[in-house]
Amino acid sequence: MARTRTALAAIVASGLIALTACSGADGAGGADQKATQPAESPTSASSADAAETEETGQVGHSGHYAEPATSRRLRAGETRTTIAMPGAYTPSAPYGTGTDDYRCFLLDPELERDAWLTGTQVLPGNPDVVHHVILFQVAPEQVAAAEAKDAAEEDEGWTCFGGTGLDRFQDVNRSSWIGAWAPGGRESVTKAGYGVRLRKGSRIVMQVHYNLLAGQQPDTSAAQLRLAPGKRDYQALSTMLLPAPVELPCRPKHSDGELCEREAAVADVKERFGADGNTADLLYFLCGGKPRAGEVQSCVRTLADPITIHGVAGHMHLLGRSLKIEVNPGTPQARTILDIPVWDFDDQGSRPVDPIRLEPFEQVKVTCRHVQWLRDKLPAFEGQPDRYVVWGEGTTDEMCLGMLQVTRP
């Protein structure tokens, strides 16, 4: 079964690589910058939610605010190079509907020899419209295909909901992610002796998610790469993605909406994002089971190969309430390695953990909870009625994702 699920992971990944940024977020600005989450207790929440808010004083989502970039000091032998969009890009809805644009830009770090990537820092050009940024590695043998894709569309870059579009199937077990940014994000730096291997001639795809709710404004974003000599004996890091379904039904008093049926909601996502809107259904090939409406959803993955976990992170959108990642769930060896009881959109940074070695056939589980009552409280949902919420790429769609930073033997 583990080998079968590994193959299915590659199929599912083609529809879920473009996810709101997850590494390097260390918090946002002060109270005056809070824009995405109210301070008051919810009036339409369940009693449990109301009690939770009253007891903790936490509601999450501290605001879409970009702190000025600050860089950490380089370590011995490291260098820093900047890669930037070749020109300004003004986002728009690619399929004529929706409020999100995902655009990929092919950038050249001009690597004349192999190198270790030991840190990334994204520099959003226009934080008002840049929702998140993800950096992907492009292997030398893929560069020609990437250049062709870049040349095929007018304006800078190309439309890229889902992933970069360079791989028909992308493997969630070994994602090509090398860095990311969301509001509040800062420079991400690996532990000493660890890095992501970049081969000579590699390129970088910078995928930018533009939130059109903020308007259509031009952007010229960039990123800084921290590099160490490739001859060093470092351990190679990679990212393992742990997606789970989202099946959040409308509230009973709002269930007469035209998108309150799952079939209609999935069709709407596909209309806005094309083939990449299939993720809501494809996830069941990875996670098993069938769609079951409810606030809480999870996915258990059985490992095919040994890994050592060095860092963990989670990702949801604005209706997210809590997220948890466990290893070996339901066994005497069960352990929670990430527990976010009150989700904060602006605190999605990777958390380092003491190394955790897992062997083949051991399991990892991600669990998310989403709630509809936040829809009544957040400016992003103003004027939008309830709908059945499934996995989708948009700012007001939802996701449930765990991420592991791992090394392999």
State the pLDDT at residue 340: 96
Give residue for tokens 């894709």. Answer: 149
| DSSP 8-state assignment for residue 162 | S
State the pLDDT at residue 52: 43
Q: How confident is the model at residue 152 (pLDDT cuts 50, 70, 90)?
A: very high
Return the CATH class of domain 79-235.
mainly beta
Task: Provide the b/e sequence for 91-109 (b: ≥16 CB within 10 Å).
Answer: beebeeebbbbbbbbbbeb
141: how many CB neighbours lie within 10 A of its CB? 10
Q: Which residues make beta-bridge pairs with 120? A: 188, 225
| pLDDT of residue 254 exceeding 80 | yes
Task: Provide the b/e sequence for 240-258 (b: ≥16 CB within 10 Å).
Answer: bbbbbbbbbbbbeebeebe
Q: What is the mean pLDDT of residues 392-398?
A: 88
What the block records as the tokens of 27 is 């918090």
Q: What is the pLDDT of residues 342-375, one digit of tens each?
A: 998 877 777 889 999 999 999 999 999 999 999 9
Please check whether residue 392 is in contact with residue 278, taking contact to mean a CB–CB distance below 8 angstroms.
no
Task: Provide the b/e sequence for 202-220 (b: ≥16 CB within 10 Å).
Answer: bbbbbbbbbbbebeeeebb
Percent of the chain with pLDDT over 90: 64
State the pLDDT at residue 319: 97
| pLDDT of residue 27 exceeding 90 | no
| 337 CA to centre of own chain | 18
* Cα–Cα distance, 237 to 281 (Å, whole number): 30
- According to DSSP, the β-strands at 238-243 and 158-159 are unpaired
CA 179 to each of CA 77, 81, 119, 137, 350: distance values in angstroms, whole numbers, following the listed order: 21, 14, 8, 9, 11
pTM beyond 0.85, yes or no = no
| pLDDT of residue 34 exceeding 70 | no
| pLDDT of residue 6 exceeding 50 | no
State the pLDDT at residue 211: 87
* Cα–Cα distance, 105 to 159 (Å, whole number): 9
What the block records as the tokens of 407 is 């090394």
CA 219 to each of CA 12, 191, 240: distance values in angstroms, whole numbers, following the listed order: 31, 32, 30
Q: What is the mean pLDDT of residues 50-68?
A: 41
| pLDDT of residue 113 exceeding 70 | yes
Q: What is the pLDDT of residues 237-247, one digit of tens each?
A: 999 999 999 99
Torsion of CA 339, 368, 170, 105, to 10 degrees: -80
- According to DSSP, the β-strands at 115-123 and 222-229 are antiparallel
300: how many CB neighbours lie within 10 A of its CB? 18
Q: How confident is the model at residue 36 (pLDDT cuts 50, 70, 90)?
A: very low
Considering the chain, what is the average pLDDT of its residues?
Answer: 83
CA 264 to each of CA 161, 208, 271, 278, 387: distance values in angstroms, whole numbers, following the listed order: 20, 28, 11, 13, 9
| pLDDT of residue 161 exceeding 90 | no
| Domain residue extents for the chain | 2-65+239-407, 79-235
| pLDDT of residue 12 exceeding 60 | no
Q: How confident is the model at residue 131 (pLDDT cuts 50, 70, 90)?
A: confident
Which range (11-20, 27-36, 295-304, 381-390) has the least confidence? 27-36
| pLDDT of residue 332 exceeding 80 | yes
Q: What is the mean pLDDT of residues 78-89?
A: 96
What the block records as the tokens of 112 is 């004349």
132: how many CB neighbours lie within 10 A of its CB? 26
Q: What is the mean pLDDT of residues 27-54?
A: 35
Q: What is the mean pLDDT of residues 225-230?
A: 98
Please check whether residue 398 is in contact with residue 321, taking contact to mean a CB–CB distance below 8 angstroms.
no
Q: What is the mean pLDDT of residues 209-219?
A: 89
| pLDDT of residue 182 exceeding 90 | no
Strand order in the sheet with 335-340: 296-302, 363-370, 320-327, 335-340
Which range (63-72, 103-112, 200-209, 218-227) has the least confidence? 63-72
| pLDDT of residue 90 exceeding 60 | yes
State the pLDDT at residue 346: 75
Separate counts of helices (H) and strands (E) for the chain: 5, 21
Q: What is the mean pLDDT of residues 232-253?
A: 96
Q: What is the mean pLDDT of residues 306-335?
A: 96
| 330 CA to centre of own chain | 27
